[in-house]
A and B are shown apart, each in its own frame.
Chain A
Amino acid sequence: MRLTVRHTTTYRYAPPRRAVVQSHRLTPSVFEGQQTIWWNISVPGAWTGATFRDGAGDRIETVSMLGPVEEVLVEVTGEVETQDLAGVLRGHRETVPPTAYLRTTRATHPDTGLRELSADALAGADGDPLDRAHRLSRAVAEAIAYVPGETHAHTSAAEALSLGKGVCQDHAHALIGAAIAADMPARYVTGYLFVGDEPMGEASHAWAEIHVPELGWVGFDPANRCCPDARYIRLGSGHDAQLAAPIRGLAQGVGEERLDVSVDVAEAAQSQQQ
């Protein structure tokens, strides 16, 4: 599929802030499942620098604005050609060893509930790691219903599970916790999703990757009960949502912050008609 992305994030500050610094993980990953045709990140009025690829293979950029800052507009536009690799992250270069992803964070920590979910899902399973990963993903999808507005940015996997409701972030955290409880390295992945006309769809998306010895990292999206395919664009990863966040920022000073996000992912042919 050829997908176009238009993703704008606007931060408005009242009163204006002394300075704003952001770390961006907003560039599509490099692997066989996606080729970037063109990609542009623009932040009017900001310095961009300190750009590099980190050990997880993500491209990271730093932007800074000296105050007074009333508004920061981050505009991401681009076009990506994608292939369906059934979730397999083939040809992705990274240094971090999979074992490092056996660590949990507050957000992914498997409590008793998650450990039980993990053990129940794997009861009777044979040793095939891919099958085990699929079972865990299904179990998480069944245990946590997709209900927006019930959880928030800091809800942990354990909290979402006991609530039985959540959004893609909660699904991903819960799957990571359940996988690590079963001794499978797992991590949080952010990206975009082409949802077409689906009313419930979120174009800004997150899912999990589980490390399967024979295949390497494989994506699982419990929220959509599938593995990432040609509708997905992968941006970056981390131990949890906070560490994988496409934008991590800090505005110096105090006051209100208003955030507006708009994400539009379309098939390239359609967007050209506009």
Chain B
Amino acid sequence: MSDGNTPPFFNEMFDATGAVRPPYGGLDGWAAAMPEELRSLKQSEAEALFRRIGITFAVYGEGGSPDRLIPFDMFPRVFGADEWRRLENGIKQRARALNAFLVDVYGRGEIVKAGRIPARLVYCNEAYETAVAGITPPKGVYSHIVGVDLVRTGPDEFFVLEDNCRTPSGVSYMLENREIMMRMFPHLFQQKRILPVETYPALLKRTLASVAPAKCQGEPRVAILTPGHFNSAYYEHSFLADQMGVELVEGQDLFVEGDYCWMRTTEGPKRVDVIYRRIDDAFIDPLCFRPDSMLGVPGLMNVYRSGGVTIASAPGAGVADDKAIYTYVPEMVRFYLGEEPILNNVPTWQCAKSDDCAYVLDNLSELVVKEVHGSGGYGMLVGPKATQEQVAAFAEKIKADPDNYIAQPTLALSTTPTFVEEGVAPRHVDLRPYCLVGETVELVPGGLTRVALTEGSLVVNSSQGGGVKDTWVVDE
């Protein structure tokens, strides 16, 4: 097995001398001892399991074919408990700051008044919902599930690529990857103390119940609102409903009457207290947002705003995860929590600023350029991997609409060993943990690791040849 250590990339399994770092201890032997035939047998077994449970949707709303399986790599990605503790503190800190920001900008706007973030960036943002100004949701939480996308560049160097404060998807992969690894390699789970992620659905349910409206009597009733089976993440919606033991509903299953929102059931209407919605703000309620929405519930926003139901994430939460607002998250941590940020942002140039734009255009071949509202790895330029023609063409796009672009340095993403055709080789990875915010802030030890399966590729998106891995935190 090659040590796969190609500077400047940080190899998470092997140190510079080729020795196995402690969290990965034993996995070198495990991989080496697996004969080729057994490995391909296990690989097809894993695929069959994924197909059987039906988990074939695209992650992160990237679109793509709904029946396509995202490649699963059996080589786990591993963190030591110490490494994880620091990440956990950093992620929780960020989730708290983002929520404090949301309560603030829909309330008194202290951070704007203090001049720490430009007023227009917040209030003229497309994701800022005038309709919820003045509304403080239960427990002051707007974003109940914060997906923080991270990359690693060194032993202690982690960078946040972006925050996802609306409805981050992919958590079902975290759970299914674990389930499948436990079924296929039970002895690994006996040899190593791998902290559980299976508690996530119970924690999610507890988080949602903890933000039930003050008017709720008795045990809060939670429901997941899905756009329907044609949605690429429908599997995840039904999976989570099943795992939490709550109802999965579509807009037409809910209605508004009096001060509350009700669910149609065979035993008559039942009041719903907390709606975990997996539809965008614009479609929640045709009487408040897009009038042509068939997916939402007419009048729901009025019930929400008068305290009759909780919507998670709260409408308007998107203003915190906008790519232009992202730059200010470290400032939010300082302003609201009085702490220094534990996790770094990636230095970001905003092409909307003329100095930044000039720098970006001069250094395009070394930078990664993204659309402000883009996602899924589309519409971006990875300078070092692009041809001269591609760089030149992209420069024209930036000049035509500078406000639409931000740029970041190309990060030296860490690698982990990955099963490939020739055996085991290092491939670049990122990480999305799912932080839960309710009465308390919780994070299960793990997340979704995405891996760029193509040699040398830094793009982990499943639409661009990415796969997924089980993510372990080992306590040894």
User: B297 — nearest CB in chain A belongs to which residue?
Assistant: A21
Query: Residue A113 at the B interface, CB < 8 A?
Result: no
Assuming the contacts A96-B130, A103-B124, A242-B291, asked whether A250 and B119 have C-beta atoms less than 8 A apart, the reply is no
Q: Is the CB of B256 within 8 A of A64?
A: yes
Query: Residue B288 at the A interface, CB < 8 A?
Result: yes
Q: What per-residue 1/0 map shows which CB atoms of A43-86 lie under 8 Å from chain B?
A: 00001111110111000111010100000000000000000000
- For the complex formed, measure the closest distance between the CB of B176 and the CB atoms of chain A, giving whole angstroms: 37
Q: Is the CB of A54 within 8 A of B134?
A: yes
Query: Residue B244 at the A interface, CB < 8 A?
Result: no
- In the bound complex, residues from chain B placing their C-beta under 8 Å from that of A50 are 256, 258-260, 299, 302-303, 305-306, 308
Chain A, interface SS category: strand
Q: What per-residue 1/0 map shows which CB atoms of B278-299 lie under 8 Å from chain A?
A: 0000000011100100000011
- For the complex formed, measure the closest distance between the CB of A232 and the CB atoms of chain B, giving whole angstroms: 23
- For the complex formed, measure the closest distance between the CB of A245 and the CB atoms of chain B, giving whole angstroms: 9
From B124, B126, B133, contact of A102 by CB (8 A): B124
Of A54, A60, A243, A249, most B-chain CB atoms within 10 Å: A54
- Whole-angstrom CA separation of A272 from B255 in the bound complex: 42
Assuming the contacts A50-B302, A50-B306, asked whether A95 and B134 have C-beta atoms less than 8 A apart, the reply is yes
- Whole-angstrom CA separation of A52 from B307 in the bound complex: 9
Q: Is the CB of A62 within 8 A of B302?
A: yes
Interface size class of B (residues with CB under 8 A): 35 or more
Assuming the contacts A52-B305, A64-B299, asked whether A99 and B123 have C-beta atoms less than 8 A apart, the reply is yes
Q: Is the CB of A97 within 8 A of B287?
A: no
- Whole-angstrom CA separation of A242 from B288 in the bound complex: 9
Q: What per-residue 1/0 map shows which CB atoms of B103-123 lie under 8 Å from chain A?
A: 000110100100000011011
- For the complex formed, measure the closest distance between the CB of B294 and the CB atoms of chain A, giving whole angstroms: 10
Q: Is the CB of A250 within 8 A of B256?
A: no
Q: Is the CB of A99 within 8 A of B287?
A: no
- In the bound complex, residues from chain A placing their C-beta under 8 Å from that of B126 are 103
Query: Residue A254 at the B interface, CB < 8 A?
Result: no
- Whole-angstrom CA separation of A248 from B308 in the bound complex: 20
Q: Is the CB of B133 within 8 A of A56?
A: yes
Query: Residue B349 at the A interface, CB < 8 A?
Result: no
Chain B, interface SS category: loop
For the A-B complex, the count of residue pairs with Cβ-Cβ distances under 8 Å equals 109
Query: Residue B132 at the A interface, CB < 8 A?
Result: yes
Q: Is the CB of B302 within 8 A of A60?
A: yes
Assuming the contacts A49-B260, A102-B124, asked whether A23 and B288 have C-beta atoms less than 8 A apart, the reply is yes
Query: Residue B325 at the A interface, CB < 8 A?
Result: no
Q: Is the CB of B287 within 8 A of A248?
A: yes
Assuming the contacts A49-B260, A52-B305, A52-B306, asked whether A97 and B119 have C-beta atoms less than 8 A apart, the reply is yes
- For the complex formed, measure the closest distance between the CB of B373 and the CB atoms of chain A, giving whole angstroms: 15
Assuming the contacts A23-B288, A23-B299, A52-B302, asked whether A100 and B130 have C-beta atoms less than 8 A apart, the reply is yes
- Whole-angstrom CA separation of A103 from B131 in the bound complex: 13
Q: What per-residue 1/0 map shows which CB atoms of A13-53 lie under 8 Å from chain B?
A: 00000010111000000000000000000000001111110
Query: Residue B257 at the A interface, CB < 8 A?
Result: yes
Query: Residue A205 at the B interface, CB < 8 A?
Result: no
- In the bound complex, residues from chain B placing their C-beta under 8 Å from that of A252 are 298
Query: Residue B128 at the A interface, CB < 8 A?
Result: yes
Q: Is the CB of B302 within 8 A of A23?
A: yes
- For the complex formed, measure the closest distance between the CB of B31 and the CB atoms of chain A, giving whole angstroms: 55
Q: Is the CB of B258 within 8 A of A239?
A: no
CB within 8 Å of B: which A98-115 residues: 99-100, 102-103
Q: Is the CB of A100 within 8 A of B124?
A: yes
- In the bound complex, residues from chain B placing their C-beta under 8 Å from that of A248 are 287-288, 291
Of B122, B259, B260, B303, most A-chain CB atoms within 10 Å: B259
Q: Is the CB of B119 within 8 A of A99?
A: yes
- Whole-angstrom CA separation of A145 from B339 in the bound complex: 59
- For the complex formed, measure the closest distance between the CB of B111 and the CB atoms of chain A, giving whole angstroms: 12
Beyond the given A62-B256, A62-B299, please list 5 additional residue pairs across the A-B interface where CB-CB is below 8 A.
Answer: A21-B255, A49-B258, A97-B123, A100-B123, A250-B287
Q: Which B residues fall within an 8 A CB radius of A?
A: 106-107, 109, 112, 119-120, 122-124, 126, 128, 130-135, 255-260, 286-288, 291, 298-299, 302-303, 305-308
> 10 A-B contacts, Cβ less than 8 Å apart?
A21-B299, A49-B257, A52-B305, A64-B299, A94-B134, A97-B109, A99-B120, A102-B124, A239-B130, A248-B287
